């Protein structure tokens, strides 16, 4: 199993310090590059208001994180774990079934995409 990664880049550090608005501004300017957050350790962070569109968060670890209201529909999330995360009001990619998300929330399994 892949272990969560503590990345060493300024964009990851913005999220780790819960400076979501600044991260969103820098993302809007095109500064956030593909894959720099993949596998990241986001345990217990308050990431509400995150603009997750187009981000690669595969294999990310969100145990206990506050993700309420985030739109993940265009985010790559395969392999992410949402154990005990606050996910009310979130939108998830169609490829993640409700059962799969529930297993991740309850047991910490990493979500798998289902092809329809």
Where do the domains of the chain lie? 1-116
pLDDT band at 1 (very low <50, low <70, confident <90, very high): low
Q: Global pTM? A: 0.92
Q: Quick check: helix, strand or coil at residue 71?
A: strand
More confident residue, 82 or 7: 82
Q: CA–CA separation, 77 vs 62, rounded Å?
A: 11
The mean pLDDT value of the chain amounts to: 94
* CB under 8 A, 24+ apart: contacts of 16-22: 16/42, 16/45, 18/45, 18/46, 18/47, 20/46, 20/47, 20/48, 20/49, 20/50, 21/49
79 in Cβ contact with 110 (< 8 Å):
yes
Q: CA–CA separation, 103 vs 101, rounded Å?
A: 5
Q: Calculate the alpha carbon distances from 86 to 36, 82, 83, 109 in Å.
A: 24, 8, 9, 16
Segment 55-84 mean pLDDT: 97
Segment 84-91 mean pLDDT: 97
């Amino acid at each position: 199993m892949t272990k969560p990664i503590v990345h060493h880049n300024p964009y990851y550090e913005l999220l780790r310090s819960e400076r979501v608005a600044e991260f969103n501004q820098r993302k809007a300017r095109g500064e956030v590059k593909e894959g720099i957050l993949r596998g990241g350790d986001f345990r217990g962070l308050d990431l509400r208001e995150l603009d997750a569109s187009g981000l690669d968060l595969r294999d990310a670890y969100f145990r206990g994180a506050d993700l309420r209201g985030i739109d993940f529909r265009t985010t790559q999330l395969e392999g992410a774990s949402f154990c005990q995360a606050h996910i009310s009001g979130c939108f998830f990619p169609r490829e993640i079934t409700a059962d799969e998300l529930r297993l991740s929330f309850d047991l910490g399994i990493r979500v798998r995409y289902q092809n329809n």
